[in-house]
Chain A
């Protein structure tokens, strides 16, 4: 490797790499997975150059293995991202991202008149993939939102 091709984000020995995140979504994923609170070494790259995507975000977490459920949560925000588990600098497992069918706890219903915003209770959304976007439908107020409309998360 020549000097000018040096990696912008250094490789990790063991852990999880979430790559090809659409630019601007990495911080949301960090919030979703509550990575900042796990006391692990997290490296984040924002707006990195990418041949395929022009710009992308990237997250590397040392000594932490993402679960299939967590990987599905990433799919909600960045469906085209790739997730690899690294052991001793080698890719040991690749995740095929699959949208979850439902999301419990995590999202705050944007409908101010929804019961979930007035009682101490968990939210519950059904995931409805559409052509261009992903929509979620609140089990309680039955309103449907695109994921961009969800501004708040319960973390």
Chain B
């Protein structure tokens, strides 16, 4: 049975069961099809962004506004008491007295879990350092389901920085509920960490490791590409080499499955050729839009209104 989401926090994708995930995706679909402009009237979202973000912050705030709620908050920690040395615990305890729900991003890992201890208002984690970003994972799942009409039994490739990328870690964990076939494509030094691979083995999920996109792209339904960050390389020569070879271009799309969709959490840099945007396989802009419906669904659900 699905436990009600009312008054719950969403800190980590691992906090959700399979049926809870499916329930949130259904709510998001309902809201995408039929807007509810007065659902959260008289409710206040505190949008606390201790580090910069455009997409996540604006989509949380728009989601609240489009449901008729209001938004308070900040997008720069220098305007808060954190800059005066106040603990996160104290800040959240106080803000929790003003708002009905809190969406937050913070550079330290575990900050959202800590914040949840400071208030009884629901906390929605919009990213805690390199740790978790569960609303991104939910919007990824929503988009996969939307494009493939199902979640179970799909072949998904993840490519890019698989070592440090939190989106691919959380997506891997979430997909484990849906019997996937996974392909991990990355330069050797940025491959998926061993403990995730062990978890996959334990759950009897088929996966393989690759270095080249062309080795697997013809076999998959979803190609999830992520950015490779310069700062992850000790040697900048290595970065330059990877940057130029690790790039998805039109040439890769010859002979791919008709239903293949390319997803990317964005922002993109060099790894995704913008010529792909015009192909029927590109779906990353719709993916970003879906964040709005997923966040609406979460706000409505944790406030007990849907």
Contact = CB atoms under 8 A, between A and B. Distances in A.
Contacts, number: 50
Q: How large is the interface on A (under 10, 10 to 19, 20 to 34, 35 or more residues)?
A: 10 to 19
Contact of B111 (A111, A115, A144): A115
Give the most central of B110, B114, B130: most A CB within 10 Å: B110
Interface string B107-147: 11111011000000000000011111000000000000000
Contact of A113 (B14, B109, B132, B195): B109
B23 to A, nearest CB: 23
Contact of A142 (B88, B107, B114, B131): B131
B12 interface: yes
A140 B110 CA distance: 4
Q: How large is the interface on B (under 10, 10 to 19, 20 to 34, 35 or more residues)?
A: 10 to 19
Interface in B267-288: none
A138 B111 CA distance: 12
Contact of B114 (A113, A119, A144): A119
Nearest to A115: B110
A67 B1 CA distance: 40
B130 A113 contact: yes
Contacts of B128: 115, 141
B258 to A, nearest CB: 38
Nearest to A144: B195
A140 B115 CA distance: 10
A116 B108 CA distance: 9
Interface of B: 12, 14, 87-89, 106-111, 113-114, 128-132, 195
7 contacts: A111-B109, A114-B110, A116-B110, A119-B88, A119-B89, A119-B114, A142-B132
Interface of A: 111, 113-116, 118-121, 138-144
